[in-house]
Amino acid sequence: MFFHKKELQFHAKPERPDPLFAKKLQEILGGQFGEISVAMQYLFQGWNARGEEKYKDLIMDTGTEELGHVEMISTMIARLLEGAPIKEQEEAAENPVIEAILGGMNPHHAIVSGLGAMPENSNGVPWNAGYIIASGNLITDMRANLNAESQGRLQVARLYEMTDDNGVKKMLSFLLARDTMHQNQWIQALKELEEEFGTTVPGTVPDEWEASEFSYDLLNFSEGEESREGTWAFGKTPDGNGKFGYVKEPKAHGDKPQLKPSPYYMHGTPPDKKD
């Protein structure tokens, strides 16, 4: 069950209209690592969570918070479009030099949404549910969440550099802070889970399933040997079950494949004989 409060989670009011920056903000709303993605990712992880209630509660807390971020950014986009000189932007875009610099506003804001936010990225590509990860394995999900928050914070930081509007910067500053918390909470949750269930996912694979002679060797498949200088090439592995090795010249362990001719009805080259 969800409740909606009319007040925003944080301020979302720009100093002045800016349809071009409204287009840029669409990335952290409806892009691959935008707020719609993390909100849906966390909510589906939470709805499907099994096991300890504290993890489900953490995920649901954060997913619901992210819905508030969707509302904040959508409101900011709408306000950036309020009173925006759309006609002047369109006329300026007729100059190829200016158009190349500005990139133009998102026409969907004027044509489709009536000066409102859209569930799409900064190029107008619609949001895709395929962006989200809800695997049913908490360690896998927490790692995906950490990546999502890292990517999201990176994009917010880049957007912060692109504006001098203090109202927009105020909201972005809040989002940077919440992304800091979310990265730290997923790291901490991961530590707990890895201490209990191990670092390799899934931890339920029987030993006899795995060709263990290949489990811990770094294979040198690129020019040079700089990769052997990292701690991933020697010493004990993080899962505690082996030691890293380094293979300077990997060799093939399989045979040279020889396929049978395709059936005659597939009309391949060379064809098999017709019956």
User: What domains are defined for the chain?
Assistant: 19-197 (1.20.1260.10), 205-275 (3.30.1530.10)
pLDDT under 70: residue ranges of the chain: 84-103, 275
Sign of the torsion formed by the C-alpha atoms of 33, 34, 38 and 44: negative
- In angstroms, the CA 66 to CA 76 distance is 15
In the prediction, which pLDDT does 187 show? 98
Kindly state the tokens that stand for 181: 């918390």
Contact status, residue 84 vs residue 115, Cβ threshold 8 Å: yes
Using the structure block, give the residue that is written with the tokens 């005659």: 264
Question: Could you tell me how far CA 96 lies from the centroid of its own chain?
Answer: 33
Contact status, residue 50 vs residue 130, Cβ threshold 8 Å: no
- Reduce the DSSP state of residue 261 to 3 states and report it: coil
In the prediction, which pLDDT does 52 show? 87
Q: What is the pTM of this model?
A: 0.88
Contact status, residue 184 vs residue 147, Cβ threshold 8 Å: no
- In angstroms, the CA 19 to CA 14 distance is 11
- In angstroms, the CA 14 to CA 11 distance is 9
Task: Calculate the average pLDDT of the chain.
Answer: 92
The Cβ of residue 255 has, within 10 Å, a number of other Cβ atoms equal to 6
Kindly state the tokens that stand for 103: 């990139």
Q: At what angle do helices 138-161 and 166-197 cross, to 10 degrees?
A: 160
Residue 81: CA count within 13 A, CB half-sphere = 24
